[in-house]
Amino acid sequence: MASNGKYGSHPYAPSAPSLPESYGQQHTQYPHGYGRPQQQHNSSSSSPQYSHGYGQPQHQPYGSSFSSSSSSSYGQSGFPAGTDPAVIRSFEMVDRDRSGYIDEHELQQALSSGYQRFSLRTIRLLIFLFKSPTDSLRVGPKEFAALWICLGQWRSIFERYDKDRSGKIDSMELRDALYGLGLAMPPSVLQLLISKYDDGSGRRVELNFDSFVECGMIVRGLTDRFKEKDRRHAGSATFGYDEFMSMVIPFLVSYN
């Protein structure tokens, strides 16, 4: 997906990796992305323009780990050729029954070795977005490798915008980080988003990496779904009632 420049880079941040091919059963290829930061002619500009401008798509080399995954060669392990052995070890360590698939608790444990212990809520969202459409709530080697690389790139973007190195980002840093992911959110939407993480203590809302991934994946997932319906790239889409409910519900609350 990234190879079509869907989340092409912009002046001061690299584009985010796209979700894997497996995401979005009726996925439509788009030359441009929604909510994508407008290409800025002044490359030194540091003030994101929160419009839905369209920039020239650019090929993203690292995107190929997703976009060409279907044509990658696989070892006996089922991992794409060239997968970091540490990633394969993390997967095999938790896939005790050697089924070739890991469930939510196993994924939570596997990611802990490379990143951190994500909440089950975030884990479930990641599985929903990365699993094969035809699969149940589990991921195989190919999806796990794609997820691992994606999280690495999101981690680097999180760290770039966590300017004070607090391990948390505030609303302005979130705005910039989402922008870094190629998602330009209007202030009103950003405000709604950040308010979901307000613990009611009156303290300034800050997101750790777990919440940032959850938050960013929700925005990315909903944006991709919307795009699939906006076939004319008009910035608006029409949904039937059942279609609307079926599209939104997977992103809603889940048991935890």
| String of contacts with a copy of itself for each residue 175-214, x by CB under 8 A | ----------xx-xx--xx--xxxxx-------------x
Whether the CB-CB separation of 213 and 154 falls below 8 Å is answered with yes
**Distance, CA of 237 to CA of 251 (rounded, Å):** 18
Token reading at 83 = 């997968």
Answer yes or no whether residue 73 interacts with a copy of itself by CB under 8 A: no
Answer yes or no whether residue 170 interacts with a copy of itself by CB under 8 A: no
- Alpha carbon separation from 108 to 4, 54, 63, 140, 250 (Å, rounded): 31, 37, 24, 14, 19
Least distance in angstroms from the C-beta of 76 to a copy of itself: 29
Packing angle of the helix pair 104-114, 141-161 (nearest 10 deg): 50
Task: Return the residues of window 79-108 that contact a copy of itself according to CB under 8 A.
Answer: 103-105
Answer yes or no whether residue 25 interacts with a copy of itself by CB under 8 A: no
Residue 38 vs 120, nearer CB to a copy of itself: 120
- Alpha carbon separation from 230 to 9, 27, 83, 233 (Å, rounded): 22, 11, 35, 5
Least distance in angstroms from the C-beta of 113 to a copy of itself: 20
Answer yes or no whether residue 228 interacts with a copy of itself by CB under 8 A: no
Least distance in angstroms from the C-beta of 232 to a copy of itself: 11
Answer yes or no whether residue 54 interacts with a copy of itself by CB under 8 A: no
Whether the CB-CB separation of 135 and 25 falls below 8 Å is answered with no
User: Residue 244 corresponds to which amino acid?
Assistant: F
- Please give the residue ranges that form the binding site for a copy of itself (CB under 8 A): 34-35, 52, 103-105, 120-121, 185-186, 188-189, 192-193, 196-200, 214, 218-219, 222-223, 226, 230, 235-242, 244-246, 248-255
